[in-house]
Amino acid sequence: MTNLADAIKEYIEENNSDVSGSDIKKFIRTNYEGRWKDSTVSAYLYGCVVNNPKSYIHHPSLKKFLYKNNDGTFCIYSEESHGENEWTPVEGDDETAEIVELVETTVSLERDIENHLIKNLDSLEPGLKYVSRQSCVDVGRVDILAEDKNGVMVIIEIKIGEAKDSAIGQIARYLGWFAQNGAIQPRGMLVAGDFSDGVRYGANAVKNLTLHSYKVNFSFVNETL
């Protein structure tokens, strides 16, 4: 019996071109009616991606065969076309182990900040109401969805440390996707520890996007020996 990974791979290979997540979901719904939910397909489109470092941590058992392009489309990973796989952890490699540990720590900190924001959305903007977290859409996984006091959808993306230029493209994709799927003038909030000048310039070019920095405070308590 065909499994979901094989079904996705078969569709991309038969199509012989880069395909979007929505195209893959449509194919699965049409050809395997009732077998897999869209949310399950989204999980595979996240966990089977070779060039997604987090997929090796969140979905270690899923076969990595997809390559995600900068525009959010998918193709079958090829070392010849995409270069050597530099994202797979190598067992026994101390340097890789440190990278994996760093990624795990980053994921944990990002989750902590996400949890804090969900409970304290007013700290970003008075009147924000929580809608959902880690919502899978065709162009990625949204950290937090909220609504402002006027009922406008707000897309919140969290980055640990200094936000990279790619974060602008990521949240712009989310804004574009939600705008095309019924949201009226959705807003975006990019939350990070800091922003480079390049990110700030890029944010100025994206309508309804604001930047918000966080500060992490540590406290220390003497422990009795």
- Name the residue among 145, 150, 209 with its Cα closest to residue 181: 145
Average pLDDT over residues 173-192: 93
Q: Is the alpha carbon torsion for 35, 41, 44, 45 positive or negative? A: positive
| Average pLDDT score over the chain | 85
Candidates 3.40.50.2300, 3.40.1350.10, 3.20.20.140, 3.50.50.60; CATH matching 94-213? 3.40.1350.10
Query: What SS3 class is residue 174?
Result: helix
Q: Give CA–CA dist 188/171, Å, rounded.
A: 7
At 188, the pLDDT band (50, 70, 90 cuts) reads very high
- Residue 163 pLDDT greater than 60, yes or no: yes
| Predicted pLDDT at 82 | 87
- Alpha carbon 158 to its chain centroid, in Å, reads 10
List the domain boundaries for the chain.
Answer: 4-82, 94-213
- Residue 153 pLDDT greater than 90, yes or no: yes
Write the CA distances from 219 to 15, 28, 83, integer angstroms. Answer: 55, 50, 44
Kindly report the pTM of this predicted structure: 0.56
| Predicted pLDDT at 145 | 94
| Predicted pLDDT at 64 | 93
